[in-house]
Amino acid sequence: MLKHVAIVTGANRGIGLEVCRQLARLEYRVLLTSRDAVKGRTAAQSLVDGGLPVFYHQLDVTDESSIAALRMFVAKEFGRLDVLVNNAGIFVKGDNSIMMLSLDTLQRTLATNLFGALRMCQVFIPLMRKHNYGRVVNVSSTMGQHARMADMSAAYRLSKDALNAMTQMIASSIHGKDILVNACCPGWVRTAMGGPHATRSLEEGADTIVWLATLPSGGPSGGFFKDKERIEW
């Protein structure tokens, strides 16, 4: 029997696509989403052709109307949502030292990496509350760790630092429900963003994300994880 319903954002390639594959292999009904509809449908079809329960819907996390359309689709087709993986993220070319950072670069980065994830939580966690079950995974980075904060890639670092804080805030706002909200760092993964010389495969990058997405009741919430181990903020 098919299990829970999961949304993965920014999933037409890389880590997001691999998370879709791994969740679908666990018989989750996976909604693969992406900003580019052609690339997204192609990616979803590649998983469907492998016999996996994957569906596609276009999503631009920076567009309120796009998020609303996805919410209507999920409510109509599934009537519930159990897992939300906020994987969509960008790194803007020219993101450099904090003293040279342009507000345009910062705003573009925050629009996807922070505001998009926040709006997805605000819209879809209420669906989780209806069934007293949910798992939210915010894909972050150790580049946003206070303990290891440094200059360069300033907009990206700020966005992930804020995403970590948002994770803690949302987790603390949920009481008496089996809804677990966590952030994680997938590590340096061979993706379009990570580059070909990164040290981790897609499978390794997706591992902790999938682990958090499938936590049992009573699992951790409001934490930051890497390699299935809690790390400092």
- 3 state SS for 33-50: EECCHHHHHHHHHHHHCC
pLDDT digits (tens, 9 = 90+) for 23-32: 999 999 999 9
Q: Looking at residue 209, what is its pLDDT? A: 98
Q: What are the CA-CA distances from residue 82 to residues 57, 104, 108, 224 (Å)? A: 17, 35, 29, 20
pTM of the model: 0.95
Check: CB of residue 27 under 8 Å from CB of residue 104.
no
Tens digits of residue pLDDT in 180-205: 999 999 976 777 777 787 778 888 99
- Closest C-alpha among 147, 9, 7 to residue 90: 9
List residues with catalytic annotation: 156
- What domains does the chain contain, in order, with CATH numbers? 5-230 (3.40.50.720)
- CB burial readout 24-43, b (16+ within 10 A) else e: beeebbbbbbbbeeeebbeb
On the question of pLDDT at 74 being above 90, the answer is yes
Contacts of residue 135, defined as CB under 8 A and 6 or more positions apart, other chains included, come to 82, 83, 84, 179, 180, 212, 213, 214, 215
